[in-house]
A and B are shown apart, each in its own frame.
Chain A
Amino acid sequence: MPSSDYDSACLPDILPLYYRRLFPFSQYYRWLNYGGVQKNYFQNREFSFTLKDDIYVRYQSFTTQNELEKEMQKMNPYKIDIGAIYSHRPNQHNTVKSGTFQALEKELVFDIDMTDYDDVRSCCSAADICPKCWTLMTIAIHILDRALRDDFGFQHLLWVYSGRRGVHCWVCDEAARKLSVAARSAVAEYLSLVKGSDETVKKVVLTDPIHPFIRESLVVVERYFPRYALQDQDVLGRKESVDKVLALTPDDVRKELQQEFQNEKKPEIRWKLLKDEAKRKQGTSKKNQHFEKEIMLQYCYPRLDVNVSKGVNHLLKSPFSVHPKTGRISVPIDLKELETFDPFAVPTISLICEELDRPRTVEEDEKSKETKDKENEKDTAESRKIRDYKRTSLAKYVKYFDQFLDGMARSWKGELLKKSDLQKDF
């Protein structure tokens, strides 16, 4: 699907259109209001906007969905970030006694960025991505999603494509939103296996016994390793890559393999030889016995930025925000279709604005007549808006977002009932 040539120069013209007719405000508000269970939750939420000419404004806050819409349509932000829920309305923070304005709650978030894998991917570097290295994101999502659900017990996870070179995860459970800085940092550390800077050669070291979490993660990695690493990245093909892999093996094993590789050129066989050496090591010595697992993990295991997850007040790019450089919308990712998710098929703002201008088909006209009758009470402008995004490629992503919100809404209902019960008995 053509992304309809996007040029960042066109943003000033199409952003107003996006915010007026396409941005899913009612779903957005439904999310951030969290069912109205806690008072002032939406009102005390910080937003930050990046406007034209890189003007950055923080501590934006809104009292209603309507106010949010009006302000965004007035300012037409290039980027939107979501911050924490504070003790007071962020836009009044200057009036609050110093020291008492504090960040209280926020979703637990994770940011996986492709540039953090530059030392282990050969197809691209820096801001570029391609289908070959996108697999790393697929692996990351599988591993982290499972761990956050099964190990930590979280249920309401929203995975979002960042718009260029990575993915974000928003953990929206109430327990997650209330986590302290120390707890967030502990969760992020638990999920971290790849450690070290440019100066570190071996970034994954496993010791016995191997924790169940690592075992589960290896199951995922092993599933993808042959196609991703051996084929697509060809890590055991070119000499420099082979050397890098062998640098992660124990000295004696490395010499063996270097010899064997002189006669064997096929990557799959080479990998098998490496695994055989590992098995041999496991039988004999206690040290360095898991090097084949360590290699797979160093090449494939998710690399997350702990600092993003730690801070309660950390600002993270909002879902449905536009990425100014690529024009792509930060859309939620439906995990049921994770294997076929293609970041290059994600709609750009230019595309969906163009789709709006398409002449309506006969079908659409009939359908719209039906729904118009149903929605007679609603404001026509709003109902037109509701139908607008549905005509574009954005539709399926908003639908998925709705399903995500439905899942959470069930828990809100329970909370509201509990609260009203409490109010009845003194």
Chain B
Amino acid sequence: MQFSSRRKKFTTNSQAELYGEPLQFYGQPPLENISLTEFETFAVERLKLLKTIENLGVSYVKMSESYTKKLGTESKALNFLYRPEADDRKPQNGPTEQEKRRKDHISHFILRLAYCQTEDLRRWFIQQEVDLFRYRFNDLHPKQKLEFLHRNNLQYDRITVEEKKALNDKLVNSSYALSGITVVEQDVYKVPFQDALDLVRTRKVYLKAGYVYIPHQDIVTIVINDFRTRLSKALALTARSLPAVHSDERLQPLLNHLSHAYVGQDYSIQKNVGKISLEQIDSLSGKSFPLCMRQIHQSLRENHHLRHGGRMQYGLFLKGIGLSLEQALQFWRSEFIKGKVDADKFDKAYAYSVRHMFGKEGKRTDYTPYSCMKVILSNAPSQGDHHGCPFRHSDPELLKQKLQVYKVSPSGISQILELVKGMHYQLACQKYFEQTHNVEDASFSLNHPNQYFIESQKALGGGKEIKRETEAPQKPQEIPTGGPSAAPEAAANTQDEAEMTEDLDSFFQDA
């Protein structure tokens, strides 16, 4: 398919202008030709960076010192780190600042293509890009932050001195950034609350009549929000141009590969349907279920009921370990009718939702079992719920009692609690695995409850019928590095070093 050239190519002097700024909103797509090799390399390296951000975000408090230090190291290793001042001095070795910024620019737009297709992909991409942006924005000097604001038209009203006086107490009591002195000194801006959702959500700001009052130094949150909104809209537009992109045989395999590298092992394809019988579930829950599922199962047996959050988390997990739809219906039904739900009501109300989970109702989406990340970060349990991640959501005291009941050794328990304190929830669960299976080292990096189950069955029975999926997309950490070997299908069509002849911009512009 030929892409007609819609505009003239600009020469490199505009590159100096474009990449003169340390940070950008990615408003304008790149307007140059690049080689297919560069296309792949840039994309894969940015993906590595984003995955690092994802992993760091679970193990460390975002923007804390350890977080930023580790992120800085990784960015440097991948040649993404650039210093806010664009000095064109040739470094000892490696690319210049300009080159790094160019790579940043191009790789962002390539990944947009790969990640605009589904709601899940978009959400993931936006989350990591927002975290990356926040990290970089915080790194700018105050003067550069101001310049950034002005350049991107984020002008909000400042409140008058009289207003500040009247609101003094309220302002001081709502924002860490404002003491009695700084209220007088700093500018305070009045921003519509819809533009400052993160501050509203965490109650870190004074809110009156629909406006938040933000001291100058907190304006970063506004900027982040703006970035998120723009990116979200852009992805929606990109998705519409996708058919044109996918028709290019050289790009399609690579883009698919990129988005699968994220999805990877999602346990959505049932490999062992029917291999588990319902009678086995009770004993399996003690032996091979991760703590979260064991807990949910127990409360289901005790209460003969589960609320929606628990049904989703547990029901999808059961699907992942191989329960068929018929088995699942029988399982839930027999448990619920022991409680307050009669068979009739079950068939009318709850059966629908079980079938929905298996993709047999409504949108017919075949829902995938929740990963650890999802369980930890979304839909926190509240009063009456039993889902979530016990390492994240339970009181440490109650967690300790529970582990004692489950006969974990005292030293094991204290190790687990240490990890929980350091917010390393998945590592704590791995430690639980090690304790309950009596092994020194789990020998896998836990990120999915169904992975826990499979590893447990392996450890206990030694590779029976339940095998691991061996498709091409491997575990998240092992992303192939750039080069023709990365995407064999794509490689078959490339000529090393050959320039692409069509416009990149026609891929990125909305129709």
Contacts and interface: CB of A to CB of B under 8 A. Distances in A.
B208 A200 contact: no
B380 interface: yes
B203 A190 contact: yes
Contacts of A187: 200
Contact of B197 (A119, A186, A197, A198): A186
Contact of B208 (A151, A198, A211, A305): A151
Contact of B170 (A54, A212, A303): A212
Given A153-B209, A183-B194, A212-B170, A190 B394 contact: no
Contact of B383 (A54, A151, A198): A198
Contacts of B384: 115-116, 118, 197-198
Given A151-B207, A153-B210, A199-B393, A212 B383 contact: no
A185 B206 contact: no
Tier of interface size on chain A: 35 or more
Interface in A170-186: 175, 179-180, 182-183, 185-186
Interface in A159-218: 175, 179-180, 182-183, 185-187, 189-190, 194-203, 209-215
Contacts of B393: 196-197, 199-200
Interface string A141-166: 00000000011111000000000000
A212 B174 contact: yes
Contacts of A154: 210
B386 A198 contact: yes
A54 B210 contact: no
A299 B201 CA distance: 23
B206 A190 contact: no
Contacts of A200: 393-395, 398
Tier of interface size on chain B: 35 or more
Nearest to A203: B383
B202 interface: yes
Given A179-B194, A209-B174, A116 B207 contact: no
B200 A190 contact: yes
A371 B204 CA distance: 57
Interface in B164-205: 170, 172-174, 193-194, 197-198, 200-203
Contacts of A214: 203
B397 interface: yes
A189 B198 CA distance: 10
Contacts of A180: 194
A119 B384 CA distance: 9
Nearest to A190: B200
A201 B398 contact: yes
Interface string B230-242: 0000000000000
A387 to B, nearest CB: 39
A199 B398 contact: yes
Contact of A201 (B173, B379, B382, B395): B395
Contacts of B209: 150-153
B201 A201 contact: no
Contacts of A186: 193, 197-198, 200-201
B173 A212 contact: yes
Contacts of B197: 182-183, 186
Contacts of B210: 151-154, 175
B229 to A, nearest CB: 9
B2 to A, nearest CB: 28
B248 interface: no
A299 to B, nearest CB: 13
A303 B382 CA distance: 10
Contacts of A197: 381-386, 388, 393-394
B174 A153 contact: no
Contacts of A115: 384
With most chain A CB atoms within 10 A of its CB, the pick from B206, B349, B382 is B382
A287 to B, nearest CB: 16
Contact of B201 (A179, A189, A203): A189
Interface string A92-119: 0000000000000000000000011111
B315 interface: no
Contacts of A189: 200-202
Nearest to B209: A153
Nearest to B308: A307
B150 interface: no
Nearest to B347: A54
A357 to B, nearest CB: 34
A-B pairs, 7 with minimum CB distance: A153-B210, A197-B381, A153-B209, A186-B201, A186-B197, A199-B394, A189-B201
Given A190-B207, A197-B386, 16 more contacts: A115-B384, A118-B383, A151-B208, A152-B210, A154-B210, A183-B194, A186-B193, A186-B197, A187-B200, A190-B200, A196-B393, A197-B385, A199-B393, A212-B174, A212-B206, A303-B383
Interface of B: 170, 172-174, 193-194, 197-198, 200-203, 206-211, 345, 348-349, 379-386, 388, 390, 393-395, 397-399
24 contacts: A115-B384, A119-B383, A150-B209, A153-B208, A153-B210, A179-B194, A180-B194, A186-B201, A189-B201, A190-B201, A196-B381, A196-B382, A197-B381, A197-B383, A197-B384, A197-B393, A199-B398, A200-B393, A201-B397, A202-B395, A209-B172, A209-B173, A211-B173, A214-B203
